[in-house]
Amino acid sequence: MNERDTEHMLAELKEKENYIATDDFKSADLILINTCSVREKPVAKLFSELGIFNKKKKEGAKIGVCGCTASHLGREIIKRAPYVSFVLGARNISKITEVLHKPKAVEIDINYDESEFAFKDFRSSKYKAYINISIGCDKSCTFCIVPKTRGDEISIPMNLIVDEASRAVSLGAKEIFLLGQNVNNYARRFSGNHEKTNFTKLLQNLSKIDGLERIRFTSPHPFHMDDEFIQEFAKNPKICKSMHMPLQSGSTKVLQDMKRGYTKEWFLNRVQKLREMVPDVSISTDIIVAFAGESEKDFEDTIDVMNQVKFEQVFSFKYSPRPQTEAEFFPDVIDSDTASARLTRLQELHIKQLDEKNASKLGNIYEVYFEELYNDGFVSGRSDNNIVIKVKGSEELLGEFKDVKIISIGRTVLTGEIIK
């Protein structure tokens, strides 16, 4: 989502102010830092990076702080780093060309509605197009700061999404990647009046686009994984068979404390349904360990879910208390040694499961859509079910589909050879 926000800002700057992007910050006239605030660490990193940029930047160059940390710290950023030229919240990115000309501007209104803003077009990849389908988040997960930095959830009208996807496809993208905090809660609320619809209908309409081969999305919410959604996922050939299912915890008690709205049993039931209907589906997840009040038994429930599901990919984090969240003042904080030990145990288990799964892939054949050129004579892409596969090759492969046989196994990237 931050990557797409960055593309939107670059598009506005390019079209309206003639900026071009550079990787060399020492020669830049404008340095933008697009921030996350989901955990505490990136926030601390912001201030150390700002110091470095300020010291080494070109004379007169502006520095702008954008994104979720901008939303939540606001003017405080300029107080702590007075050389910052402007602060632009995650829900205000369409104002990028305005704040550029307003010294010390702070635009962080989380009620600002950008759901119908016609951003200019810029994409860092020609082959895959990120497309926002909603802004904000309506959930009230007790650990999460996102609703406070991105505001209420508003869906982007379906016709705008379909138009944007068609444009991207006409420019060469064969894959689109839909983005939202709870994509399968699409159409919960629009800014104006719109006819009743849902995520399944959006997927059906997008799949009618000629030349569009693959649709991915993130994140769906386990609570909204009803049968209709899983059936559409299973039977629509354009939808890639990889599902992100953010578990957060395997303990029903912790899930309740987190206000996630589902139980361990519901989560496992959805996984079972999905695997029955789509046997080769790959499932990824997010897990928070050591949430306030998480007992050893609760943590064992998470391990139990890991053992039952054997996720293809796990993004795991130690709980990080965040300001403006309900859990910020929850008692029974877990000490940091216990938290680290739990995280290590979970990650080691995942690596063991991953190695076992990967070993069985030797000799398998996957259809790969190539999208990235490495500088060592390899090109990489993904299988429909999201396995990253590289082959020897060059630019001509980019944007192409090929059948690839796996010849060697790595932990995150498999190596293959093209057979067709």
Number of amino acids touching ligand SAH (CB under 6 A): 18
Least Cβ distance, residue 283 to ligand SAH (angstroms): 14
**Cα–Cα distance, 270 to 227 (Å, whole number):** 9
Q: Which of 39, 126, 345, 405 binds ligand SAH (CB under 6 A)?
A: 39
The number of C-alpha atoms within 13 Å of 192 and in the hemisphere containing its C-beta is 8
> If binding is defined by CB under 6 A, does position 333 make contact with ligand SAH?
no
Least Cβ distance, residue 260 to ligand SAH (angstroms): 8
Q: Nearer to ligand SAH by C-beta: 141 or 389? A: 141
Q: Which stretch binds ligand SAH (CB under 6 A): 312-320, 334-342, 380-388, 408-416?
A: 312-320
> If binding is defined by CB under 6 A, does position 143 make contact with ligand SAH?
yes
> If binding is defined by CB under 6 A, does position 148 make contact with ligand SAH?
no
Torsion of the alpha carbons at 131, 133, 138 and 143, rounded to the nearest 10: -20
Q: Which stretch binds ligand SAH (CB under 6 A): 9-17, 25-33, 41-49, 314-322?
A: 314-322
> What residue type is 232 in one-letter code?
E
Burial 357-376 (b: 16+ CB within 10 A, else e): ebeeeeeeebbbbbbbeeee
Least Cβ distance, residue 289 to ligand SAH (angstroms): 9
DSSP state of 181: T
Least Cα distance to 386 among 416, 413, 408, 357 occurs for: 413
**Cα–Cα distance, 110 to 125 (Å, whole number):** 29
Residue with tokens 């799964």: 357
Q: Nearer to ligand SAH by C-beta: 125 or 182? A: 182
Q: Which of 54, 252, 256, 320 binds ligand SAH (CB under 6 A)?
A: 320
**Cα–Cα distance, 395 to 372 (Å, whole number):** 9
Q: Nearer to ligand SAH by C-beta: 267 or 369? A: 267
**Cα–Cα distance, 298 to 248 (Å, whole number):** 12
> If binding is defined by CB under 6 A, does position 345 make contact with ligand SAH?
no
Q: Which stretch binds ligand SAH (CB under 6 A): 63-71, 97-105, 230-238, 317-325?
A: 317-325
Q: Nearer to ligand SAH by C-beta: 205 or 263? A: 263
| Residue 350 φ then ψ, to 5° | -60, -45
**Cα–Cα distance, 338 to 251 (Å, whole number):** 17
Least Cβ distance, residue 333 to ligand SAH (angstroms): 12
**Cα–Cα distance, 10 to 124 (Å, whole number):** 10
Q: Which of 214, 221, 342, 402 binds ligand SAH (CB under 6 A)?
A: 221
> What residue type is 156 in one-letter code?
I
Q: Nearer to ligand SAH by C-beta: 166 or 284? A: 284
Contacting positions for ligand SAH (CB under 6 A): 38-39, 137, 143-144, 146, 181-182, 219, 221, 246, 248, 286, 288, 317, 319-320, 322
